[in-house]
Amino acid sequence: MKIELIPVIEITNYDQDIATPISGPYWGFADDWEAYRIATSIAAGFSEDLKPYTKGSSFYKINEINDKDLLKIIHKEIATQQTEENLGIDDLESSFYGGYILKIDGVDKYFPQCCGNLGDIEDWISL
């Protein structure tokens, strides 16, 4: 049995002026969500090289994000925290939403859930 934990971060660009697909979830309507993801990513200034873990999803393997896009993600997170949470530069938290995908024998079994982050690795220790 081959078991993998794949670290991913969630990147969403819902703040673009682009209509969200009316059908969901993304895995059931992957083409619609992929077109939306591409349009919002480009509108937000990300490169065309930014590809999700699976078609239409908002999860991205950390080791596949290029430096330019990673810097854009960091700047976006800093701006969000400073605007929404009114934090100074010394008070910023450095956790991106996301977590780990559990893959067993080549099949994705578990995806990060709402509000998860890479610090959730502690929850996997008992396994």
User: pLDDT by residue (tens digit) across 53-104?
Assistant: 999 999 999 999 999 999 999 888 888 777 766 666 666 666 788 999 999 9
Q: Is 125 helix (H, G, I), strand (E, B) or coil?
A: coil
User: pLDDT by residue (tens digit) across 7-46?
Assistant: 999 999 888 899 999 999 999 999 999 999 999 999 999 9
- Strands (DSSP E) contained in the chain are 3-10, 59-61, 98-104, 107-110
CA angle 65, 31, 64 (to 5 degrees): 10
Long-range contact set of residues 85-92: C-beta below 8 Å, sequence gap at least 24 = none
What's the pTM value of the predicted model, to 2 decimals?
0.86
